[in-house]
Copies of this chain bind each other. A is one copy, B any other.
Amino acid sequence: MTQILERLRDLVGDAGLIADPQDAASYTIDWRRRYFGKALAVVKPASTAEVAAVVKLCAETRTAVVPQGGNTSLCGGATPDGSGGQIVLNLSRLNRVRAVDPVNNTITVEAGCVLANLQQAAADADRLFPLSLAAEGSCEIGGNLSTNAGGTAVLRYGNARDLVLGLEVVLPDGQIWDGLRGLRKDNTGYDLKQLFVGAEGTLGIITAAVLKLYPRPRVRTTALVALESPGHALQLLSHIQNACGDRLTGFELMSAFCLALVARHFPATRLPFAQAYPQYVLLELSDTASGENLDAALQVALADAAERGLVLDAAVAQSEAQAEALWALRENIPDAQVSEGKQIKHDVSVPISRIAEYITLTDAELQRAFPGVRLVTFGHLGDGNLHYNIAAPAGADEDAFVARAAEVSRVVHDSAARFGGSISAEHGLGQYKRDAILRYKSPLEMELMRKIKVALDPQGIMNPGKVL
């Protein structure tokens, strides 16, 4: 053991090694404080060559490697187990922007680059890197790619996977695969980069990537719309897509209870409506052509929707400050939930066309099984993705309720499966849903995954205990 530590120190230097358990604590506990792991060491290499050398040593000594970026996984995907025999390989020191090519619309970055810094580097070149999510100030692009992150811009720009042109990966034997191509088209064999995106570090370690950039939106308009039901929201989605096409870049559903929580825990909150409504949609249009009058287009589309009975009320932001205030309603939901108390959280997706029916049936089933539960339902309706979170009935014993999480989640997940949905739309499996997935994926699909795992990581040293 000590010998491995010394050899690791030789490879990465004192600045790259944290062996003291107390110093290592922030790397061995997950974001939601659900997993408390223990590491042989936290290793922080400063270059791809150092990552390769560390992994080579681990392969030689059969030491398990837990790759980690900003440590913001919501599923314990980057937390070591409790054995103290695994190393955490943290990529935060590999944080350079290697190149920006505005004509090719690409940026080449290292895995440890914080997402917000990457967005800024793109903006500095007058381009957009569209991936955007709540943790963007601390999450790192290597983790975003390894978990195929989603976020608020998926409707228009796709998931993290869709933004990747090339990867550099350290393989489980310590070899470096240089797949850093910046090509829009390349049909010369298997698209290997796809294997590593979304694999949660179980097949290798992404150390750098070539990512797509886009023209920056020049105009933007944001609105809060009040509606009767998720079914009306679904019809509104089709209506706006038909009227405005690709300009629709955000379409977030929030139940009345979500906004009530935000109002309660963020006293500065001002809702633009005098009365409460059952459901709300926050929608955003944007356009890369500066001459566009998006406000006018949206007003026309919303008036038309109101005539059809889809919309109860609507407020279009008249300034950037108003737009930010509307977005704050959506963005403050997670923190409002925390202030309110414990919830049982889910991250499900279903085909978009079935989302209203999914909510109706699942709500009813939960009320039957757990009368009085409070549903904090919000999410990326335009992607068919809901954060379907559940709080204890008002006045009930919260801890007793949360102790029944497995039963509650079973109802939510079984229902998603019946609708052809997924139990993890954007957060991944990590260790949190590793067992649950066995109920929903066919044995054949699990077998295919295991074949890939064994083919690339025959020793099983890459992030064991995650995904598979």
Contact = CB atoms under 8 A, between A and B. Distances in A.
A107 interface: no
B445 A456 contact: no
B187 A198 contact: yes
A195 B194 contact: yes
A399 B287 CA distance: 53
A104, A194, A245 interface centre (most CB from chain B within 10 Å): A245
Nearest to A242: B215
A353 interface: yes
A467 interface: yes
Contact of A177 (B102, B423, B448): B448
A177 B444 contact: yes
A215 B245 contact: yes
A441 B181 CA distance: 12
A190 B199 contact: yes
A171 B353 CA distance: 30
A154 B449 CA distance: 30
A468 interface: yes
Contacts of A158: 162
A158 B191 CA distance: 15
A87 interface: no
Contacts of A468: 189
A422 B187 CA distance: 8
Interface in A390-444: 420-429, 433, 437, 440-442, 444
A321 interface: no
A158 B164 CA distance: 12
Contact of A451 (B105, B182, B456): B456
B189 A441 contact: yes
Given A185-B426, A187-B429, A289 B444 contact: no
A289 B304 CA distance: 15
A323 interface: no
Nearest to A437: B188
Interface string A345-357: 0000111111000
A244 interface: yes
A268 interface: no
B150 A190 contact: no
A148, A184, A238, A241 interface centre (most CB from chain B within 10 Å): A184
A444 to B, nearest CB: 6
A385 B188 CA distance: 14
Nearest to A186: B422
Interface string A312-331: 00000000000000000000
A287 B162 contact: no
Contacts of A448: 171, 177, 190, 192, 456
A452 interface: yes
A374 interface: no
A38 interface: no
A103 interface: yes
Interface in A178-220: 178-179, 181-192, 194-195, 197-199, 203, 215
A147 interface: yes
A243 interface: yes
A185 B467 contact: no
A412 to B, nearest CB: 15
A234 interface: yes
A96 interface: no
A383 interface: yes
Closest 4 CB pairs of A and B: A245-B288, A194-B194, A103-B353, A455-B455
26 contacts: A101-B353, A103-B353, A104-B384, A105-B352, A106-B351, A154-B184, A171-B444, A171-B448, A183-B420, A184-B383, A184-B384, A185-B425, A187-B425, A187-B427, A188-B433, A189-B437, A190-B198, A190-B203, A192-B449, A192-B452, A194-B195, A215-B241, A215-B242, A215-B246, A242-B288, A289-B297
